[in-house]
Structure 1
Amino acid sequence: MGAMLGKLCVGCFGLILVLNMLWAAIAMKILSFFPLQKRTREGISLGLVQACWRITLFFCPWLSISYDSETAPAWREMQQKMENVTDHPLMVLGNHTSFFDVIVATISMPTEVLTRCRTYMDAHLFELPLLSTICRSVGHFPVYFMSDASGVFKVDKEKNEKIDLEVDKHLQTGGWLCFYPEGQVNREPEQLLPFRYGGMKKALDFDARMISVVCWGNAKVWPRKMQIGGFPGSVKISCRQLAPDGVKALVKQLRDCEDTPAEDKESEDHVLLARHLQRVMQKQYDDLKASVANGKAKGD
């Protein structure tokens, strides 16, 4: 009975999701005919994506999304810090366990933040029906991998160098960036993978400010190997400021701190930053998991 109910929920979620993404994609196509600046059009398109995914979840009451008590203040304080700031882009980092991460992060971010953000996406997603229209309309950046094998990060250097220039231009002109520093969907959600260095180097180049969006429960709602999810379940979200004054100030603070491991202090800045952020977000995930367990225990 439980398995049948799960399949029914997945079917309903898939139908509702596709219908909402369809009207959003049509709206984006219509929007492309208006004489708007590229960034304005992309920002509106992101707002449409956020709306269509929020509507999808509204009509799927078997999916519960909640936030910890520090999430709203973290966003509010970071937005205040970013007011009138043009020389330090904001970067939003998340843990990656499921495609549902993308949906959850999109609906949870303040709209005024989301519309300035772009992210990296596997280039093959730009070839899928419906999703390709959305990817191009919102201005996300394709990543061209040489292999689709898990854990293989070899990329087409020539193609990605051109994309990297586009990312730099986006950041130089007031744009922000979202990405998953693990670099791939994590098969073992309980333990974050080592963070890739490319994103850390980019953050240091621009002295970015950072905030995290860490989620618990996404892999149960939308398992990694399934093309569509929607199983009954609960997701909890936690957001924290990681580098509210910029990553260069954070690196300096870490080098001056007695608690920083000696091995990390001897490392290059991007290595030190990657190791620190991985530990911080791992603790954030562990705390989130513990809070869910405590909540269930109190409920019992």
Structure 2
Amino acid sequence: MNIIKRTLGHCYFFAGMLFFVATMLIVIIPASIALLFPEPRRAKIIHPTYRIWMSVFLPLVGCPVLRKGRRKFVKGQNYVVVVNHNSLVDIPVSTPWIPGPNKTLAKVEMAKTPLFGVIYKAGSILVKRDDDTSRRESFTQMQQTLKQGLHLCLYPEGTRNKSDKPLLPFYDGAFIAAIRAQKPIMPAVIFGTKDILPNKPKFWARPKAIHYHFLDPIPTAGLSMSDRHALKDKVYQIMEDYLLQHARS
């Protein structure tokens, strides 16, 4: 990478972060109010708030979100939406652009971040990954979320994919949650976020359109826990094939 491109990328990164923080200070107000309400009302306040925020912020920094397949969401049906995870940019993209209020699973440590922690907490089910009790409680909350008619947005890879492979191996959690609740899985794939905010160089970014595609839902009605591995493998293969076929330069 030449010096001009590197310098411009660093400037873009810090300008984008300043704009993000400035707009976040406005969004903290409705997020704080939403925390006063129980679910599902909280999610019904938070989702349109975050959607409006990102509908303004992302296009203004040159990263518009282009969705495909949103009509696959059937009115009155909620889903376990499983999304690939390549970058921190996935977080403000994945949940706001799901058609309808939803919750995601997030590390409890992020909720302790000054200011941003309020926004993170308002839209998430928090879990301490190294605590068995916390993980059990998060499963209970995920089931409650689905029973309340909200979508559940999960990253089955468990962490950001920093490899050259389309996907990291999936964990079982999303598929256990879907089978227990007998809710369909909605595979979804995001393109472009790794290019916007790559792992290296640090504090470097560039503008680029983000493509967010929802694939055909997969029913879980009638499935049992013994089917979770086959379901996981099926979803993994569908998403991997789609990523390979539709990779964007």
Q: TM-score range by the shorter chain?
A: 0.7 to 0.9
Partners in 1 of 2:200 and 2:227 — Cα distance? 35
Give the structure 2 partner of residue 58 of structure 1.
59
User: For this pair of structures, how many residues does the alignment match?
Assistant: 246
Q: After TM superposition, give the deviation of residue 31 of structure 1 in Å.
A: 5.1
Q: What is the CA RMSD across the aligned residues, in angstroms? A: 2.5
Instruction: Please point out which of 142, 152, 164 is paired with 2:126.
Output: 142
Amino acid at match of 1:278: Y
Question: Which residue among 73, 78, 85 is the counterpart of 2:73?
Answer: 78
- For 1:237 and 1:189, how far apart are their aligned partners in 2? 20
SS at match of 1:201: helix
The residue that corresponds to 1:125 in the other structure is 110
Which segment is superposed worse, 225-234 or 162-171? Answer: 225-234
> C-alpha separation between the residues in 1 aligned to 2:154 and 2:50?
17
| Superposed displacement of residue 20, structure 1 | 1.2
Aligned ranges 1:191-206 → 2 under 5 Å: 191-206=166-181
8 Å CA contact retained: 2:10, 2:204: no
Aligned residues: percent identity?
20
Change (3 A) 1:49 1:32: same
- Higher helix fraction (1 or 2): 1
The structure having more radius of gyration, on CA atoms, is 1
CA displacement at 1:22 relative to structure 2 = 1.3
CA offsets per residue over residues 233-289 of structure 1, 9 Å max, x none? 34322221231xx2246x69xxxxxxxxxxxxxx94111111111010001111221
Q: Distance in 1 between matches of 2:159 and 2:231?
A: 19
Equivalent positions of 1:1-300 (< 5 A) are 1-30=4-33, 38-61=39-62, 63-67=63-67, 71=68, 74-80=69-75, 83=76, 85=77, 89-110=78-99, 113=100, 115=101, 117-138=102-123, 140-145=124-129, 155-188=130-163, 190-224=165-199, 230-243=205-218, 246-248=219-221, 268-289=226-247, 292-293=248-249
User: CA 1:30/1:234 → structure 2, altered by over 3 Å: closer, same or farther?
Assistant: closer
Any conservation in 1 of the 2:95–2:103 contact (CA below 8 Å)? no
1:8-54 deviation line (CA, Å, top 9, x unaligned):
11111111111111110123224556xx5542233212221221122
Superposed displacement of residue 79, structure 1: 2.5
State how far apart, in whole Å, the 1-side matches of 2:109 and 2:221 are. 34
Cα distance, 1:189 vs structure 2: 5.1
Distance 1:227 1:217, change over 3 A: same
Give the TM-score normalised by the residue count of structure 1: 0.74
Q: Distance in 1 between matches of 2:71 and 2:244?
A: 23
Paired letter, 1:18: V
Partner in structure 2 of residue 255 of structure 1? none
* Whole-Å separation in 2 of the counterparts to 1:198 and 1:107: 22
Distance in 2 between residues matched to 1:180 and 1:118, nearest whole Å:
12
Q: What TM-score do you get using the length of structure 2 for normalisation?
A: 0.88
Contact kept in structure 2, 1:236 and 1:288, CA below 8 Å? no
Provide the rounded CA distance (Å) in 1 between the counterparts of 2:229 and 2:108.
27
Give how far 1:220 is off: 1.6
1:125 to partner: Cα distance? 0.5
The one-letter amino acid of 1:56's match is F
> SS of 2:187's equivalent?
strand
List gaps (5 residues or longer) in structure 2: none
Distance 1:100 1:271, change over 3 A: same
Shift of the 142–237 alpha-carbon distance from structure 1 to 2, 3 Å rule, reads same
